[in-house]
């Protein structure tokens, strides 16, 4: 199954008041495993950058002025995400911004049924706990030391790791049968056949006591399935 882990950075909190997308980062997963295929772009919002937003992501209007506008990257972005599931943390925020950008170009909005919100998933799994991306990275041992400021691609990469843990861990991408196939040859190579059996360490009294207990249990004695209790047998 193909999934896209997605994050955006914006000029503010509300596209209905003129805020715009300024960065998109997306990471492709196939059956829960990152493929290395990413989508990343900075976008000229065609407006100023409020100080509050700049403090969050560090993207200035001057820097962004040298990058393409959303209309120039919309087709490439749409082709990358295709019709696959989108994995987003606090998805309502990102989706409303992307849909606002699509609406400006008369493009179809993202369908709600293809969105998986990892914030909602984390709240169900860890009710009452801190479920920000930073908190989840800390909870699952995901190294977020590079995250000095918000950045769409870095946040998408971190979220991809967190999402795998929220979904049950990296083992979910492997079957037990596949694991057995990988492990079995190693075990066989490491186990050596003993050239001669070890000398018995049980005394005659211990052997007799064990035999009497087995006789008392009769058919319920599980030892009879694995060993003989004939005269002189200490195996």
The answer to whether residue 150 is catalytic is yes
For residue 49, give both structure tokens.
Answer: 């950058």
In terms of Cα–Cα distance, which of 119, 57, 46 is closest to 87? 119
Q: How does DSSP assign 85-132, residue by residue?
A: EEEETTHHHHHHHHHHHHHHTTPPPPPGGGEEEHHHHHHHHSTTS--S
Q: How far apart are CA 218 and CA 19, in angstroms?
A: 82
The strands making up 85-88's β-sheet, listed across from edge to edge, are: 33-42, 21-30, 2-10, 85-88, 115-117
Q: How many CB atoms lie within 10 A of CB 14?
A: 13
9 touches 22 (CB < 8 A): yes
Q: Which of 40, 89, 126, 150 is catalytic?
A: 150
DSSP H or E segment with residue 39: strand 33-42
For residue 133, give both structure tokens.
Answer: 């991306």
Active site residues: 150
């Amino acid at each position: 199954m193909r999934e896209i882990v997605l994050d955006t950075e914006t000029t503010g909190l509300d596209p209905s008041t003129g805020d715009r997308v300024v960065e998109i980062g997306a990471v492709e997963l196939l059956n829960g495993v990152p493929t290395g295929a990413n989508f990343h772009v900075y976008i000229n919002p065609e407006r100023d950058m409020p100080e509050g937003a700049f403090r969050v992501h560090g993207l200035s209007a001057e820097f962004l002025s040298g990058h393409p506008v959303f209309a120039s990257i919309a087709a490439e972005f749409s082709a990358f995400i295709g019709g696959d599931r989108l994995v987003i943390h606090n998805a309502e925020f990102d989706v409303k911004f992307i849909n606002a950008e699509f609406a400006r170009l008369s493009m179809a909005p993202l369908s709600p049924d293809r969105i998986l919100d990892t914030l909602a998933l984390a709240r169900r799994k860890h009710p009452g706990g801190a479920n920000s991306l930073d908190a989840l990275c800390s909870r699952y041992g995901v190294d977020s030391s590079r995250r000095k400021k918000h950045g769409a691609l870095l946040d998408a990469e971190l979220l991809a790791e967190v999402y795998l843990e929220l979904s049950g861990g990296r083992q979910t991408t492997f079957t037990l049968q596949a694991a057995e196939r990988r492990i079995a040859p190693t075990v066989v190579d490491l186990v050596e056949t003993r050239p001669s059996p070890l000398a018995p360490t049980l005394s005659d009294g211990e052997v007799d006591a064990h035999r009497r207990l087995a006789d008392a249990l009769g058919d319920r004695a599980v030892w009879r399935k694995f060993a003989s209790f004939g005269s002189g047998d200490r195996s």
